Copies of this chain bind each other. A is one copy, B any other.
Amino acid sequence: MRKKRITIEDVALEAGVHASTVSRALNPGKRALVSDVVAARVAATAQRLGYTPDPVAAGLRTRRSATIGILIPDIANPLFPPILRGIEAALAEAGYTAIIANTDNDALRARDALERLAARRVDGVILATVSRRDPLLDRCRKLGLPVVLVNRSTGGGATSAVLTDDEAGAALAVRHLALLGHRAIGHVAGPQRLSTGAGRRSGFVAARRAVGGESGPPPIAEAASYGIEAGAHAAAALLAAHPRITAIVAANDLLALGCYDEARRRGLACPRDISITGFNDMPFADRFDPPLTTVRIAQRAMGVEAARLLLAEIENPRSPKREIKLQPELVVRGSTAQPRGPSLTVPRRSR
């Protein structure tokens, strides 16, 4: 005797009705089409028999899989798990399931992953990987796949997105440093092909001007990627070109860690000789040595909003594209302090 799965037919037989009636009775949207008494009986027998509808079969008929795809660069990057948890929480409420694919920041792998998700007939995708002007978006459009971007966006606003106000975040960091008395503030920028890299950079430039930093072109070095090594390289270039810098605004926490390394290599103590700020407030940023002053972004909330937006677009493909910008918040820890020499104010510290 081998495993026999219980189908809608079994329930129909047992309840003395037709399969289509069972389908209606069990389908929230159509329960109204069936008499209360029958609906109750069907529900009861389904329960008793331990019937679980087969979403695969249903999906074949309805062309909806109740599944959405998520593209992220790398799940091992601590920035993403909280976003994913947010997405999943919102999806679960609606009975949807997520399939996650890692792209390792590789356009080819991203393309590949997208095709695989499309082949699986996902109802929509959330992309955390896009660069500015990313071919992935055209591909989604061609596939008729609803899309929402999260964290990063493209140039054109023809796609819904949930983002951080990167300009404002960078400004937060700059103002904090300025308030501590820093005047020579540099920036280790993220890749400029990514919206976060570009946004934080322009936020830095604007804020620096606003707080009346030193004149001349802003001291900036662009990192090749959002990694520790890349951050160290950029910091090296920055400090070589601008030795008088007393503070660095890094475009994310990993780059900040790279700045730690380079500072140490040069015998510069942080924060005594140089202040460093990060961006994202990734998990364990408070455990670094020194604890990292950084700009906290609303990771989980971004995920939740992105999922909601996507579900809305799946529900109604003609719904207007929205772009939500979440405000970041400064978290002051131990990696920033007054510059050596005369200073004006005393900073508060928090954990």
Contacts and interface: CB of A to CB of B under 8 A. Distances in A.
Given A56-B59, A56-B65, A60-B60, A120 B97 contact: yes
A38 interface: no
Interface in A230-270: 257
Nearest to A254: B284
A102 interface: yes
B289 A52 contact: no
Given A56-B121, A287-B287, 20 more contacts: A53-B119, A54-B60, A54-B119, A55-B119, A55-B121, A56-B56, A56-B120, A57-B60, A76-B78, A76-B85, A78-B284, A85-B102, A97-B99, A99-B99, A287-B288, A288-B288, A288-B289, A289-B289, A289-B290, A289-B291
A115 B98 CA distance: 15
29 contacts: A3-B144, A52-B115, A53-B119, A55-B120, A56-B56, A56-B65, A56-B121, A60-B60, A75-B81, A75-B84, A75-B85, A76-B283, A78-B78, A78-B283, A78-B284, A85-B102, A88-B102, A97-B116, A98-B99, A99-B99, A100-B100, A257-B287, A284-B287, A284-B288, A287-B287, A287-B289, A288-B288, A288-B289, A289-B289
Contacts of A284: 78, 284, 287-288
Nearest to A59: B56
Which 9 residue pairs across A and B have the least CB separation, nearest first? Answer: A289-B289, A76-B81, A75-B81, A52-B119, A3-B144, A287-B288, A284-B284, A56-B59, A56-B60
Contacts of A119: 52-55
A118 interface: yes
A227 interface: no
A191 interface: no
Contacts of A99: 97-99
A213 interface: no
A265 to B, nearest CB: 13
A82 interface: yes
Q: How many copies does the complex hold?
A: 2
Nearest to A287: B288
Contacts of A100: 98, 100
Interface string A50-78: 00111111011000010000000001101
A106 to B, nearest CB: 14
Nearest to A121: B56
A119 B53 CA distance: 7
